[in-house]
Structure 1
Amino acid sequence: MIDNAHPTAEFRVICANLPAPPLFWRDDTGFRHGYESDLGRLLARTLGLPFQFAYQNWADFYPALQAGKGDVILCGQGISDHRKTLADFTEPYAVFDEAVMIRRGANLRSASDLVGKKVGAIAQSLNMALAETFTGCICVPFGGDSDDVLGDMVTALRDGKIDAFVDDDVALVPLAEEADLEIGFSVPTQNKWGIAIKKGDDVWLAQVNEALAIVKSNGQLERLWRKWMPSLSYPFPTS
């Protein structure tokens, strides 16, 4: 257990209340499962703090962190230059490639197939940054101000409002099991995901980084990874 934890005496995780397995989702009883959910609980125990989720819409994450409505953001935050202007970040707890989701049979298998096509992604995300590299495609930003931005992109794809969308591969693997959807192609971007901390709170950042280092070194993070994402390679050195 780490001494001198954050003065709030809680570990309140800002996250989205939407289904995105294997990262997070809630069952019929309201219990939240998944890799990120379990990691939040694990870090809270390591810090010796009580744990709770602080649900926000995606677009409200950073204003909520700034306003003190939560202590960290632990919810699919690839560490980008833009996000580093909004918060400080821990060392990565995950590394993922990106993929392009299409309607099954659409035969969009490379970036060159997306010329003239509408490609969605969450606005100002690493996914949108990748979409913007696809020469000749029409980028369609999704603002994240709804209850389920991933669901919004899936609906738009199914309705023909977009031809494809970009997200991290881990979020798209379950969707590819749907009868009408498939992954068109993947891009080995190796995006690092981190936990966001209110800017300038160096002591808290150090404490969360210490907790993360502990669960990496003792094998607990690897066990969570292999429990929830056995088909993906664990991206950190093993003991």
Structure 2
Amino acid sequence: MKNKLFLIMLTMIIALLAACGTKDDAKEDAGSGSTPSEELPVLVMGTSADYPPFEFIDPTKSEEIIGFDIDLSNLIAEKLGYKIEVENIDFNGLIPAIQAGKLDFVLAGMSPTEERDEVVDFSIPYNETVQMVVTKKDSGIKTVEDLAGKTVGVQISSVQEELANELAETVDMKVESRNLIPEVIQELMTKRFDAAVIEDVVAENYTQRNKDLTYFPIVVEEIDTKAAVFPEGSELKEKFDKAINELIEEGKIDELREKWFVVEAE
């Protein structure tokens, strides 16, 4: 009887010790703070969150940056096995930030140009766009030629700034730049600017929300495109090119266009 009682007690002690060991192991695992998502490498993305619907903040909902480019970056990251950390930087500071090694890439509705291509690399295009002249409906401006003698606003360091300066070589107009698109729109609404050069989908967003505004296209020889931006020689370019091609073939980018580019009047 004593031997049997001893064996029962020994079995209970071993079971108790095993249970304690399991709890300790569980605590250690929980304390490590590691999950599959947290183990993914992080890419720092630069953007300028003043450019709806590509990237912007809707303060009525949250302080989170949302938009077409944000969703696109997450789709690419999912394909390539990364997490994205977004840095909000003024548009004219994005390329300097890449050159300084502060960013892994940029998605900011940025168009490849010869000048930019000298200092950074671009992915294949993920969108095409048309440039618009935005005016107040009562401005009397209906053609590019009507801009003669007028003040035209643009975002600094943008392709629109470059285009407006090219137009100013043949049309006697004054070009003024502002850091952010909302600043350009504000100057237009208060009539400090007579017009502004803004790309189509962005222009549509603003005109739908400001019934005093209208726009018309600028005819150019080369189609304007949007692309991701990388430091020169970055290995990410080839990976992004492949991911963007796959997203185009899968119809995912068309789905993003339907989500973000269809603007409903308020």
TM-score of the alignment, normalized to the shorter chain, above 0.5: yes
Q: Does 1:133 align with 2:164?
A: no
Q: Does 1:90 align with 2:102?
A: no
Alpha carbons 1:120, 1:166 under 8 Å: kept? yes
Amino acid at match of 1:136: V
Amino acid at match of 2:171: G
Shift in Å, 1:87: 0.9
> What's 2:68 paired with?
35
Alignment partners' CA distance in 2, 1:52 and 1:58? 17
Bigger shift: residues 164-173 or 203-212 = 203-212
Q: Secondary structure at the match of 1:137?
A: coil
Per-residue CA deviations over 1:150-179 (Å, capped at 9, x if unaligned) read 011112112222211101111110111203
Give matches, 1:1-239, under 5 Å. Answer: 9-18=41-50, 20-27=51-58, 28-131=61-164, 132-134=166-168, 135-142=170-177, 144=179, 149-177=180-208, 178-183=210-215, 185-189=216-220, 190-201=223-234, 203-230=235-262
Alignment partners' CA distance in 2, 1:170 and 1:163? 20
> What's 1:234 paired with?
none
Number of equivalent positions: 217
Shift in Å, 1:16: 1.2
What is the root-mean-square deviation in Å for CA atoms of aligned residues?
1.9
Question: Structure 1 residues 188, 41: closer, same or farther in 2, change over 3 A?
Answer: farther
Amino acid at match of 1:218: E
Q: Secondary structure at the match of 1:53?
A: strand
Amino acid at match of 1:133: L
Shift in Å, 1:124: 4.1
Amino acid at match of 1:171: V
TM-score (norm 1): 0.84
Shift in Å, 1:48: 0.6
Shift in Å, 1:143: 5.0
TM-score (norm 2): 0.76
Greater Rg over alpha carbons, structure: 2
Runs of 4 or more consecutive aligned structure 1 residues displaced over 6 Å after TM superposition? none
Instruction: Tell which has more relative contact order, 1 or 2 (C-alpha 8 A, sep 6+).
Output: 1
Q: Secondary structure at the match of 1:174?
A: helix
Alignment partners' CA distance in 1, 2:70 and 2:253? 12
Bigger shift: residues 133-142 or 203-212 = 133-142
Alignment partners' CA distance in 2, 1:143 and 1:68? 26
Q: Secondary structure at the match of 1:215?
A: helix
Greater helix percent: which structure?
2
Shift in Å, 1:29: 2.2
Amino acid at match of 1:50: K
